[in-house]
Structure 1
Amino acid sequence: MASEEQKALSTFLKDVHSALRNSTSQIGVEKAWKAHSKNTEILKKYAQCMEKLATTYWEHSETISRIDWTAKICYEYFINKTYLHYREQEQNIANKMQLKLNTVESFSEVLKLVDVGSCYNPFKLYNYFDVFAIDLCPANESVLQCDFLDTPIGTRTVIEDNKVKEIGENSYESVTFCFLLEYIPTSQLRITACQKAYDILKPGGLLTVTTPDSKHVGANSKTMKCWRYALALMGFSRIRYQKFQHMHCMAFRKCLLKDVAIRWANIHKEPFMEYALHIPQDFNTNEISKNSAQNQVIHHIIDDFQELPFYNMNE
């Protein structure tokens, strides 16, 4: 049973997300996001609530936390060099496609990790990471101010007065989205976030995504398949998926050859799949025609996924 403080903190965060979605539907995503990113009072309180929830409740109530899972996957992939296995798989598929694989991975000894929506920089505890922690409104000085969706990708990373002005392409071993995508108000912006992650990752780099959900593993299968399909079209290959009591955890490899990932997407495409990253709050079911094909897909998603971004606080 969640405490009253935990419920209050969670409610505030959900209210902020709801207000952002409502604003998006009323004035459009660009104006809504711009206004939200400049609302420093709300953003500061949001950062405080998120840090309190994460450090006081979440990280101590789960068998494995989203932070631990991400760190362990990165250690296994980079330090234990399981990426070599995925390179071999990719090479075999490229051979079948009669394509040449000219690129190989080149990783730093200390892994450059971009923690998007970091809040309080939880990954600083791991000595094998060189953490580039960024957030709209940092909770402490170890996190840089950055609107990831709006910051340009260039030839190098530029920081001025603790603010990120530009992020270098093909520069980082790993990018992590820990409970981030549910914060972003539209599917297209989520696509943008993942595409930018792709652009700044080194070839063979790793994007890790954790997203909350308290339902059983089979309840959301169509939604997770849609996410996998969309990221494959970008050039990502999903190499790990695990469902825990209150979250899904995924790891995606930036393929050395984009066509290999696209091949998977084309082979495994099902009728309900589209190039989108939807969550249930994207849809107002009262405004959707029950006779449309789109509605069938949407209702599958809504049925399969609980109310995000936070699980039922009464459990």
Structure 2
Amino acid sequence: MQNNSAMNMASEEHKLLAQFLKDVHSSLRKSSTELGAEEAWRKHCDNKDVLTKYASCMQKLATNHWDVNYANNVTATSRITWAFQTCREYFFEKAYFKFRQKEIDIATKLGVTVTQQELFTKPLQLIDVGSCYNPFQIYDCFNVFAIDLCPSNDSVFQCDFLKVATGNDNLVQNNKVMQLKSCFFDVVTFCFLLEYIPSSEFRINACEKAYHILKPGGLLIINTPDSKHVGANCKIMKCWRYALACMGFTRIKYEKFKHMHCMAFRKALNKDTAVRWATLYKEPYMEYAMNIPQDFQKENEDTKVVLLNDVQPSHCDFTELPFAI
């Protein structure tokens, strides 16, 4: 009886924590619609009470619930584990040699020059954007630069990734990031970040900044929640791939798990080789945008959700992400 009671209490806490996160996301999207993304984001970043509670809830949800559920289910894959395994295959098992050669072959056909080569050494320079509590610090193969709007511990730097400047060095003052170094990081991780950002334009800006701070050949790893079947939101994911290709990213790995999409994109040595994919495979519905299913929803007067453009909503309420740590 005690075990069942503890499980019920844990389940209830899980729901409460997840609901708070979901409400914050919903409120930010609503504010963005009413005020515009720029003003909504500014107000959100100024609301220290909400940011502090969000960070606390996220850490509790991940460590007290997702971690535990993952440990008890050997068939589940966590976002952190997936990112680590992808980096291991790409960098340490030298899979990037294959992608480099493929890019050189494409560049030759296009008549463009590939002048830069990858130089990757351990530990890899990894920036975890929206890190909260720095989960990647458990791996000694990474030199982790963890950043968040509101860090939950001292190993994470305070930083608004959308607004921070880029330049010749990483500058930190009083645990706040003032500048990020261009073409410096081997890995940029967006783990459950893009769906938090309230507009397509801002998500594009985040990915463009990731491109700017990555070394040529480096990886952008994106995880985003979605409990629908793989085909439900496939057009949205293809639009993401198209937009990222236009920026100069080539997708090298994609997996759809029960509760999330996991994607790895390589920064091209020459942007034209990535743009070639966007040119060849563009479909009529594709545009330079990165929407999420919630962008196609609106509330009517009875607060019922109305779907636009026949796009299926993704169930991203965090209660459905027991293994996505």
Whole-angstrom CA distance in 2 between matches of 1:69 and 1:163: 28
Alignment of 1:87-236 (within 5 A): 87-236=100-249
The equivalent residue for 1:48 is 56
SS at match of 1:107: coil
The equivalent residue for 1:307 is 315
Q: Bigger CA drift: 211-220 or 46-55?
A: 211-220
Task: Identify unmatched segments of 5+ residues in structure 2.
Answer: 1-7, 71-75, 301-306
The equivalent residue for 1:11 is 19
The equivalent residue for 2:303 is none
Matched, 1:22 2:6: no
Whole-angstrom CA distance in 2 between matches of 1:77 and 1:172: 15
Q: CA deviation at 1:103?
A: 1.1
1:69 aligns with one of 70, 82, 85: 82
TM-score normalized by structure 2? 0.90
Identity %: 55
For CA contacts below 8 A with separation 6 or more, give which structure has more relative contact order: 2
Question: Match of 2:67, as an amino acid?
Answer: E
Give CA deviations for 1:202-255 in whole Å, capped at 9, x if unaligned.
000000000011111222211111110010000000000001111110000000
Q: CA deviation at 1:313?
A: 7.5
Whole-angstrom CA distance in 1 between matches of 2:231 and 2:79: 20
Q: CA deviation at 1:281?
A: 1.8
SS at match of 1:184: coil
Whole-angstrom CA distance in 1 between matches of 2:149 and 2:270: 33
Whole-angstrom CA distance in 2 between matches of 1:95 and 1:160: 45
Question: Match of 1:126, as an amino acid?
Answer: Y
Q: Bigger CA drift: 19-28 or 186-195?
A: 19-28
Give CA deviations for 1:124-156 in whole Å, capped at 9, x if unaligned.
000000000000000000000000000011111
Measured on the aligned residues, the alpha-carbon RMSD in Å equals: 2.0
The equivalent residue for 1:59 is 67
Whole-angstrom CA distance in 1 between matches of 2:225 and 2:127: 20
Whole-angstrom CA distance in 1 between matches of 2:157 and 2:257: 30
After superposing on structure 2, the runs of 4+ consecutive aligned residues of structure 1 that deviate more than 2 Å are 59-62, 283-287, 307-314
Q: CA deviation at 1:286?
A: 6.6
TM-score normalized by structure 1? 0.92
Whole-angstrom CA distance in 2 between matches of 1:155 and 1:25: 36
Whole-angstrom CA distance in 2 between matches of 1:51 and 1:313: 14
In structure 2, the CA distance between the partners of 1:136 and 1:217, relative to structure 1 (3 Å rule), is same
Check the 8 A contact 2:167/2:181 in 1, yes or no.
yes
In structure 2, the CA distance between the partners of 1:199 and 1:120, relative to structure 1 (3 Å rule), is same
Q: CA deviation at 1:308?
A: 2.7
The equivalent residue for 1:293 is none
SS at match of 1:3: helix
Check the 8 A contact 1:108/1:173 in 2, yes or no.
no
SS at match of 1:299: coil
Aligned length: 305
